[in-house]
Protein backbone atom coordinates (compact mmCIF):
# COMPACT_ATOMS: atom_id res chain seq x y z
CA UNK A 1 0.00 0.00 0.00
CA UNK A 2 2.84 2.42 0.78
CA UNK A 3 4.37 1.84 -2.63
CA UNK A 4 1.06 2.57 -4.34
CA UNK A 5 0.55 5.75 -2.33
CA UNK A 6 4.07 6.88 -3.10
CA UNK A 7 3.50 6.29 -6.78
CA UNK A 8 0.25 8.26 -6.66
CA UNK A 9 2.05 11.13 -4.98
CA UNK A 10 4.65 11.22 -7.75
CA UNK A 11 1.96 11.30 -10.41
CA UNK A 12 0.15 14.09 -8.53
CA UNK A 13 3.30 16.20 -8.29
CA UNK A 14 4.04 15.65 -11.96
CA UNK A 15 0.54 16.77 -12.95
CA UNK A 16 0.86 19.83 -10.74
CA UNK A 17 4.17 20.86 -12.35
CA UNK A 18 2.81 20.36 -15.83
CA UNK A 19 -0.31 22.39 -15.13
CA UNK A 20 1.92 25.23 -13.90
CA UNK A 21 3.61 25.38 -17.31
CA UNK A 22 0.29 25.34 -19.15
CA UNK A 23 -1.25 27.95 -16.83
CA UNK A 24 1.76 30.23 -17.26
CA UNK A 25 1.72 29.84 -21.04
CA UNK A 26 -2.00 30.73 -21.11
CA UNK A 27 -1.38 33.80 -18.94
CA UNK A 28 1.37 35.01 -21.26
CA UNK A 29 -0.57 34.33 -24.47
CA UNK A 30 -4.22 34.89 -23.62
CA UNK A 31 -4.12 37.56 -20.90
CA UNK A 32 -0.97 39.48 -21.79
CA UNK A 33 -1.01 38.87 -25.56
CA UNK A 34 2.63 37.75 -25.65
CA UNK A 35 3.41 35.30 -28.48
CA UNK A 36 4.75 31.99 -27.16
CA UNK A 37 5.84 28.63 -28.54
CA UNK A 38 6.99 25.43 -26.80
CA UNK A 39 10.74 24.95 -26.83
CA UNK A 40 13.26 22.20 -26.42
CA UNK A 41 14.61 22.12 -22.88
CA UNK A 42 17.87 21.49 -21.14
CA UNK A 43 19.37 18.01 -21.12
CA UNK A 44 17.50 16.18 -18.35
CA UNK A 45 20.54 14.04 -17.62
CA UNK A 46 22.47 17.16 -16.72
CA UNK A 47 25.22 16.35 -19.18
CA UNK A 48 27.27 19.34 -20.30
CA UNK A 49 28.24 18.89 -23.93
CA UNK A 50 31.33 21.11 -23.57
CA UNK A 51 33.00 22.82 -20.65
CA UNK A 52 31.38 26.15 -21.62
CA UNK A 53 27.96 25.22 -23.02
CA UNK A 54 24.75 24.75 -21.10
CA UNK A 55 23.20 21.29 -21.56
CA UNK A 56 20.77 21.22 -24.47
CA UNK A 57 18.26 18.43 -25.14
CA UNK A 58 17.79 19.13 -28.86
CA UNK A 59 18.98 16.48 -31.36
CA UNK A 60 21.48 18.78 -33.08
CA UNK A 61 25.12 18.00 -32.22
CA UNK A 62 27.03 21.04 -30.96
CA UNK A 63 23.85 23.14 -30.83
CA UNK A 64 24.68 26.78 -31.74
CA UNK A 65 22.26 28.13 -29.11
CA UNK A 66 22.32 25.56 -26.27
CA UNK A 67 19.64 25.88 -23.65
CA UNK A 68 15.89 26.39 -23.97
CA UNK A 69 15.06 27.41 -27.55
CA UNK A 70 12.44 26.86 -30.28
CA UNK A 71 12.76 23.66 -32.30
CA UNK A 72 9.50 22.21 -33.63
CA UNK A 73 7.51 24.32 -34.28
CA UNK A 74 9.98 27.10 -34.97
CA UNK A 75 9.82 30.65 -33.70
CA UNK A 76 7.52 31.70 -36.57
CA UNK A 77 4.86 29.44 -35.04
CA UNK A 78 4.66 31.53 -31.85
CA UNK A 79 1.05 32.50 -31.10
CA UNK A 80 -1.40 34.13 -28.71
CA UNK A 81 -4.14 31.62 -29.55
CA UNK A 82 -5.15 29.88 -26.28
CA UNK A 83 -6.45 26.85 -28.20
CA UNK A 84 -3.04 26.30 -29.77
CA UNK A 85 -1.31 26.87 -26.45
CA UNK A 86 -3.50 24.27 -24.74
CA UNK A 87 -2.85 21.76 -27.52
CA UNK A 88 0.91 22.29 -27.44
CA UNK A 89 1.33 21.95 -23.67
CA UNK A 90 -1.07 19.02 -23.51
CA UNK A 91 0.99 17.28 -26.15
CA UNK A 92 4.39 18.31 -24.69
CA UNK A 93 3.62 19.19 -21.05
CA UNK A 94 7.26 19.51 -19.97
CA UNK A 95 8.29 21.92 -22.75
CA UNK A 96 9.76 25.26 -21.66
CA UNK A 97 7.84 28.40 -22.65
CA UNK A 98 9.64 30.41 -25.32
CA UNK A 99 8.60 34.04 -25.84
CA UNK A 100 8.91 35.56 -29.33
CA UNK A 101 10.26 39.06 -28.67
CA UNK A 102 9.79 42.26 -30.64
CA UNK A 103 5.99 42.47 -30.71
CA UNK A 104 4.45 43.28 -27.33
CA UNK A 105 7.66 42.77 -25.35
CA UNK A 106 11.42 42.78 -25.99
CA UNK A 107 14.41 42.07 -23.76
CA UNK A 108 18.07 42.70 -23.02
CA UNK A 109 20.37 40.22 -21.29
CA UNK A 110 23.75 40.06 -19.60
CA UNK A 111 25.86 37.29 -18.07
CA UNK A 112 24.55 36.53 -14.59
CA UNK A 113 27.21 38.37 -12.56
CA UNK A 114 27.17 41.45 -14.76
CA UNK A 115 23.38 41.42 -14.71
CA UNK A 116 23.37 41.44 -10.93
CA UNK A 117 25.68 44.49 -10.95
CA UNK A 118 23.43 46.23 -13.46
CA UNK A 119 20.35 45.62 -11.30
CA UNK A 120 22.13 46.95 -8.22
CA UNK A 121 23.25 50.07 -10.11
CA UNK A 122 19.74 50.76 -11.43
CA UNK A 123 18.28 50.32 -7.95
CA UNK A 124 20.74 52.88 -6.59
CA UNK A 125 19.70 55.30 -9.33
CA UNK A 126 16.02 54.72 -8.61
CA UNK A 127 15.32 53.29 -12.07
CA UNK A 128 12.03 51.41 -12.16
CA UNK A 129 12.48 47.88 -13.48
CA UNK A 130 9.92 45.54 -14.95
CA UNK A 131 10.14 41.73 -15.07
CA UNK A 132 13.61 40.25 -14.65
CA UNK A 133 14.39 36.54 -14.99
CA UNK A 134 17.44 34.35 -14.46
CA UNK A 135 18.60 31.52 -16.72
CA UNK A 136 21.52 29.22 -15.82
CA UNK A 137 23.96 31.68 -17.42
CA UNK A 138 22.26 35.04 -17.92
CA UNK A 139 20.01 37.68 -16.41
CA UNK A 140 17.22 38.83 -18.74
CA UNK A 141 15.38 42.16 -18.39
CA UNK A 142 12.05 42.47 -20.21
CA UNK A 143 11.39 45.88 -21.76
CA UNK A 144 9.02 47.67 -24.11
CA UNK A 145 9.41 46.75 -27.79
CA UNK A 146 12.08 48.75 -29.60
CA UNK A 147 13.05 49.10 -33.25
CA UNK A 148 16.47 48.41 -34.71
CA UNK A 149 16.73 52.10 -35.59
CA UNK A 150 16.02 53.14 -31.99
CA UNK A 151 18.49 50.61 -30.65
CA UNK A 152 21.12 51.70 -33.16
CA UNK A 153 20.86 55.33 -32.04
CA UNK A 154 21.15 54.36 -28.40
CA UNK A 155 24.21 52.20 -28.96
CA UNK A 156 25.84 54.75 -31.29
CA UNK A 157 25.97 57.17 -28.37
CA UNK A 158 28.15 54.72 -26.42
CA UNK A 159 31.95 54.73 -26.72
CA UNK A 160 32.03 50.93 -26.80
CA UNK A 161 29.41 48.19 -26.52
CA UNK A 162 30.44 44.86 -24.92
CA UNK A 163 29.80 41.59 -26.74
CA UNK A 164 28.39 40.18 -23.49
CA UNK A 165 25.36 42.47 -23.81
CA UNK A 166 22.60 41.04 -26.01
CA UNK A 167 19.35 42.44 -27.29
CA UNK A 168 16.26 40.34 -27.98
CA UNK A 169 14.03 42.33 -30.30
CA UNK A 170 12.16 41.54 -33.50
CA UNK A 171 12.95 37.98 -34.56
CA UNK A 172 14.49 37.08 -31.21
CA UNK A 173 13.34 35.05 -28.23
CA UNK A 174 13.83 34.34 -24.54
CA UNK A 175 12.59 31.42 -22.42
CA UNK A 176 10.21 32.31 -19.58
CA UNK A 177 9.62 30.74 -16.14
CA UNK A 178 8.51 28.40 -14.81
CA UNK A 179 10.89 25.70 -15.95
CA UNK A 180 12.99 23.25 -13.96
CA UNK A 181 14.99 20.15 -14.84
CA UNK A 182 17.91 18.24 -13.36
CA UNK A 183 20.24 20.49 -15.32
CA UNK A 184 18.71 23.95 -15.17
CA UNK A 185 16.06 26.26 -13.83
CA UNK A 186 14.40 29.44 -15.07
CA UNK A 187 13.10 31.73 -12.34
CA UNK A 188 11.82 35.25 -11.85
CA UNK A 189 14.21 37.57 -10.04
CA UNK A 190 11.54 40.26 -10.30
CA UNK A 191 8.12 38.83 -11.19
CA UNK A 192 5.89 40.69 -13.67
CA UNK A 193 3.67 43.33 -12.05
CA UNK A 194 0.38 44.47 -13.57
CA UNK A 195 -0.46 48.00 -12.45
CA UNK A 196 -4.05 48.79 -11.34
CA UNK A 197 -6.22 49.40 -14.38
CA UNK A 198 -3.71 47.76 -16.74
CA UNK A 199 -4.09 44.42 -18.49
CA UNK A 200 -0.41 43.62 -19.07
CA UNK A 201 2.77 43.88 -16.96
CA UNK A 202 4.52 47.23 -16.82
CA UNK A 203 7.70 47.36 -18.94
CA UNK A 204 10.50 49.99 -18.92
CA UNK A 205 11.91 51.63 -22.04
CA UNK A 206 15.25 50.28 -23.22
CA UNK A 207 16.63 53.83 -23.39
CA UNK A 208 16.34 54.16 -19.61
CA UNK A 209 18.50 51.08 -19.05
CA UNK A 210 21.21 51.15 -21.72
CA UNK A 211 23.83 53.11 -19.79
CA UNK A 212 23.72 50.79 -16.77
CA UNK A 213 23.68 47.67 -18.97
CA UNK A 214 26.68 48.81 -21.00
CA UNK A 215 28.71 49.75 -17.91
CA UNK A 216 28.03 46.38 -16.28
CA UNK A 217 28.67 44.43 -19.47
CA UNK A 218 32.11 45.92 -20.02
CA UNK A 219 33.50 43.79 -17.22
CA UNK A 220 31.91 40.53 -18.41
CA UNK A 221 33.07 39.38 -21.86
CA UNK A 222 31.64 35.96 -22.63
CA UNK A 223 33.03 34.97 -26.01
CA UNK A 224 31.19 34.40 -29.27
CA UNK A 225 29.07 31.39 -28.33
CA UNK A 226 25.38 32.18 -27.81
CA UNK A 227 24.09 30.84 -24.52
CA UNK A 228 20.55 31.20 -23.21
- The whole-number pLDDT of residue 57 equals 79
DSSP 208: G
Reported as a pLDDT band with limits 50, 70 and 90, residue 218 is: low
Measured between alpha carbons, how far is residue 11 from residues 16, 44, 135, 153 in Å? 9, 18, 27, 53
- What is the average pLDDT value for the chain, to the nearest integer? 81
Tell me: pLDDT of 51 over 90. no
Tell me: pLDDT of 147 over 70. yes
pTM exceeding 0.95: no
Amino acid sequence: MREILGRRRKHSLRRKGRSALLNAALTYAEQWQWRVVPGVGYDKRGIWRTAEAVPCACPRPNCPVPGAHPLDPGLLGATRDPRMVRWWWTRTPDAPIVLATGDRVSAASLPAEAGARALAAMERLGVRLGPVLATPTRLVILVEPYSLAELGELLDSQDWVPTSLRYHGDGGYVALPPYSSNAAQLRWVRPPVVDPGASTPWLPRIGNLVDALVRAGRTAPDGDRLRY
